[in-house]
Amino acid sequence: MTDARPKRARVAKDGTAAEDGRAPLRFGDDPLLWAAWLYYEEGLTQSEIAAAMGISRPTVVAYLSEARDCGIVNISIAGDRLRALSLARQVAEHFGLRDCLVIPSDGGPRSLIERLGDAGAKALSWHLRSGDSVGIGWGRTTLAVAVAVPDLGLKDLRVVQATGGTTAAIPYTPEACATRLSEALSARMIPMSAPAIVSSGEMRDLLLQEPVLQEQMSELDRIDTIVFGVSSLRPNSTIHTSGFFAKALDQRDHYRDAVGSLAGRFIDVTGKPVIGSLENRTIGIELARLKTVRTRIGVSGGFDKVPAILAALRGGYINVLVTDAATAEGILRADGVEVRRQSLTRRPPSQPDRGKVAAAPGEVPQPDVKKLLNDPRDAVNESLEGALLAFPDHIRTIDGSVRAICRSRPAAPGKVGLVIGGGAGHEPLFLGYVGEGLADAVAVGNVFSAPPPDRIVRCTRQVSTGAGVLHVFGNYTGDLMNFEMAAEMAAAEGIDVRAVVTTDDVASSPASDRAARRGTAGNIFVFKIAGAACEMMLSLDECERIARKANACTYTMGVGLAPCSLPETRRPSFRLGPDEIEIGIGIHGEPGVVRSVAMSADDVADRIMDALIEDAGLDPGARVGILINSLGATPMMELGILNRRIRQRLEARDITTVRSWMGHYCTSLDMTGASISLVVLDEELETLLLRPCDGFGFRQG
């Protein structure tokens, strides 16, 4: 087989390509064997194999599939591991769990508790995210989890002790578990400064009135993830050794119906709470609150725990279970479920056609994107005509030009005029931000193109009342050149013009070169604050200062899931693979600064928020405004999912969101994706941001 593409050498552990790109000698001339070795033995991804062998990724997929079909690769899984995998799937399906991890019951010299601890740490790492608040119980297995957790490199984590303290005679106290986990995660620890069991209900009520304990207890309401063990009620169980039962009669008289305990609370075989003499003396998370935590990781094993774990599953207290195979099978049988046996089926290691492969040069192009257009050359003018007809109370033409537009109601004499502008294709930017408390006029160019100088001058002349005019526009070559020329032409007519260039896109240039950054959706914050300053009849010097300050405090980053398509071409402006996204996307149809594999909404939000928080230097106590912006095709549903995670991250860092906006504010035609902007507020900027305004794309008050 030959491949016309150039070969690229790559150094792998034991699959090193020769300098001329040939396979290492020990693979002979067999590309199937080479590809199979790199994939199964060296652990390379299909993309990495393609680079190493100098072939396309679809060819790699075909090689791997053929290697299995012809017997080069014969996959087998150890029987105990296959059984554990099958049981985990069946337990998750039967109880409706988010996740289930089952380990083999026989694990050599290591104890079951140690191995459950490792598995619990893995489960926690799968579900934990930056900004989370993590609750933790206590017990032997819970401490083993905390000991096994590695530093995950996550940020802004909190570890909350879920119950009060227990006897110091045991090493796995709530304090010990919380301390160990917080150290492992480099997280802030929230202790519980009270015993888990106090002498009386009256004492509990008194303690809960203490401000320190009230503050600590309130942290239980912020928990996103909790990890805990499940205790049986056998004499050597955690609930006994922790000192909960002062005498045997306590259990026999009040807890005869209980089969297990979670975080010091007792449940019966159906999972319902068992209320006994300890209930009004217990300090810690309550079962009702436990059930509302997003991720509830129960780690427990051993055949004696079957009734207790089954009760916890029936009660809905666990949605991620970590246990061993014997216990998992016992749980299923105890609940009347026939345990399935599962075998492997022959299938390729990956699906070669999960999405349409992007067309390369010379290949059949993708079909045109469908659009509601007449003549594409008339699209901008016809769109502006429609907007003028839809919003006559907000905007009107200047001298009959649909591309030079001002507010319908003239501004008061002596007010600084505010002119904004840029290319079409970003609607409702810029047109929607003309009105009271916003801009006074807008100059519109062709799609993704700067407006010409004479149009900017026409807008400047229209809004000049003698106090000067402020130009605010994005940092793009055409805009810089044309607005500068327009300012010189206006100055020749005696109009004092100042210019503020927006530079909010953190992905386009490092903080050390802020002046080189692009202006993107953060424009809206600068327009709003500058418009409020002008509406308050402040001087031109003050309006310029405030606009520059707003720009310096604004930060944006976007992600693209699919490119936009221009009206004239109706073709994607760039190509993305089916599992690829663009991080740091612009708003003019260009790719982002980094291409990444597709990720979940929360992971996208985390990626962006990490960058914004770091760039802005946000510390606890800061106050911000947030804009979650669709780049065109992304619906409000998905923006809401992003906003939910953004607010979690900010709250985890004790940052106050003064107000958030969500929707289409600065688009890139029909691009699929979103951007997140934040503006860091002091008293001056906050006051101006919240003042009333009335543009058809931005209204408040």
As annotated, the active-site residues are: 426, 588
User: Quick check: bond before 376 cis, omega within 30?
Assistant: no
Task: Please spell the DSSP secondary structure of 331-398, one letter per residue.
Answer: HHHHTTPPPP--------SS-TTSSPPPPPTTSPPPPPPP---SSGGGHHHHHHHHHHHH-TTTEEEE
Residue 491 three-state SS: helix
Angle formed by the axes of helices 140-148 and 174-185, nearest 10°: 10
Measure the CA–CA gap between 478 and 459, rounded to whole angstroms.
17
User: Quick check: bond before 95 cis, omega within 30?
Assistant: no
Q: In what order do the strands lie in the sheet with 656-663?
A: 594-597, 580-583, 554-562, 672-681, 623-630, 656-663
The rounded Cα 198 to chain-centroid distance in angstroms is 41
The rounded Cα 55 to chain-centroid distance in angstroms is 34
Helix, strand, coil share (%) of the chain residues, nearest 5 = 40, 20, 40
Task: Please spell the DSSP secondary structure of 200-233, one letter per residue.
Answer: -HHHHHHHTTSHHHHHHHHGGGG-SEEEE--B--
- Distances from the Cα of 25 to the Cαs of 4, 284, 418, 492, 525, in angstroms? 21, 65, 71, 77, 62
Measure the CA–CA gap between 213 and 318, rounded to whole angstroms.
27
Task: Please spell the DSSP secondary structure of 82-140, one letter per residue.
Answer: HHHHHHHHHHHHHHT-SEEEEE-S--TTS-HHHHHHHHHHHHHHHH--TT-EEEE--SH
**Cβ–Cβ under 8 Å, residues 162 and 135:** yes
